[in-house]
Amino acid sequence: MNVLLIERGEYPGSKNVMGGVLYRKMMEDVIPEFWKEAPLERPIVEQRFMMMDKESAVTVGYKGMEWGQEPYNNFTVLRAKFDQWFAGKAVEQGALLVNETVVLECIVENGKVVGVRTDRPDGDLYADVVVLADGVNSLLAKSLGFHKEFRPDEVALATMEIIKLDKKTIEDRFNLEENQGTTIELFGDATKGILGTGFLYTNKDTLSLGVGSLLSGLIKHKIKPYELLEYVKNHPMIRPYIAGGEPVEYLAHMIPEGGYKSMPKVAGNGVLVVGDAAQLVNAIHREGSNLAMKSGQFAAEAVLLAKERDDYSEATLNHYKTRLMSSFVGQDMKKYKDSTHHFDKFPQYFDKYIPMVNKAASQMFTVDGSSKWEKQKKIWRDVGTAGEKFKLARDAYRAWKVMK
């Protein structure tokens, strides 16, 4: 097959941003044992979750040495390095990579996408199938009528910094051995109680620190994204990790948060939509790269089937949607279809209950001569009136219901 890969940046990865976690299984399905040659940062052996208040955090996590051994579980990556390598593997297989080229629109003839129009002179390119991977705000899919303008509560904006720090210092601060990494997800005060998360990931000799929240929350609370990032950098739970580090790169990225109900049409006559452009992000588990990779694989399978049949109609290419929705991608999207909307509708989960958990932990673990029975009673009294206790139980049930 003749494959053309169009990249608007100077090189693959120059325009791409993500938190920085790559999952092994999905990439291995494309390139077996890729970790032996890919420019990866650190295999992750520990995942932590911080429920943060203004001066405290309740932390849970898992650390397993099995994740530090082949074939590993996941890795931190820097997209500018990794994507160049990944695109190079496609070129090795015969793909033609064209950089610094913007696709302006799809060329449609008789209801079928037959190619793309680019910003180059004589830049019309024709193909049997066009695969759209142009990000969360896919202007190309929108121009085809596959989706409307996304609402502010369907999209998050994440800002992040890459912070230079000595390799040994990173390992000491995060209790790591050589070639081991940690991810820390931040909830609650990291986003000032707005629905969203922060993150702190270890690379070889840098840290990736970022925070993202729904656009609707940023607008409602009149908070600028870079202000939120500065707030996280100076938070007493985070500041010691990055002390002495030097910011070397600043990035921003839109993230699809609408979930299953915001997914656009993903297959048409002569066209497929993958990755962020198809809204494929599991917001609850902070997974996106693995869903994007799997969607790319399923899209390729559909194109191969269409070539075999010499039929590039929506009826044949819809094999992609069938495979996508029957896989873990579609199943996870369905499982959490109401979660983002629920937690956005009821902000008390972030701005009330997380501080409540921190206060309870502080009271329980402070040794002041009071018995543990007395402490438990005080914690229960602090929840509030009978009505407030009922509301807490109701909210816990609602959260379980949208997550089960």
Q: Hey, which residues does 109 pair with through a beta bridge? A: 112
Edge-first strand listing for the sheet containing 124-126: 103-109, 112-118, 124-126
Q: Between 164 and 137, whose confidence is greater? A: 164
pLDDT band for position 65 (50/70/90)? Answer: very high
How many whole angstroms separate alpha carbon 343 and alpha carbon 399? 8
- Cβ atoms 115, 81 nearer than 8 A: no
pLDDT on residue 404? 84
Per-residue pLDDT tens digits for 178-192: 999 999 999 999 999
DSSP-derived secondary structure for 88-155: HHHHHTTPEEE-S--EEEEEEETTEEEEEEESSTT-EEE-S-EEE---TT-HHHHHTTS--PPPGGGE
Per-residue pLDDT tens digits for 67-102: 999 999 999 999 999 999 999 999 999 999 999 999
Which of 43-57, 234-248, 341-355 is predicted with the least confidence, judged by mean pLDDT? 341-355
Identify the H or E element spanning 254. Answer: strand 246-256
pLDDT on residue 56? 97
Per-residue pLDDT tens digits for 119-128: 999 999 999 9
pLDDT on residue 19? 82
How many whole angstroms separate alpha carbon 286 and alpha carbon 332? 12
Per-residue pLDDT tens digits for 148-158: 999 999 999 99
Tokens of 332: 């996870």
**Mean local confidence (pLDDT), 132-139:** 93
Per-residue pLDDT tens digits for 314-339: 999 999 999 999 999 999 999 999 99
pLDDT band for position 340 (50/70/90)? Answer: confident
The tally of CA atoms less than 13 A away on the side-chain side of residue 333 is 27
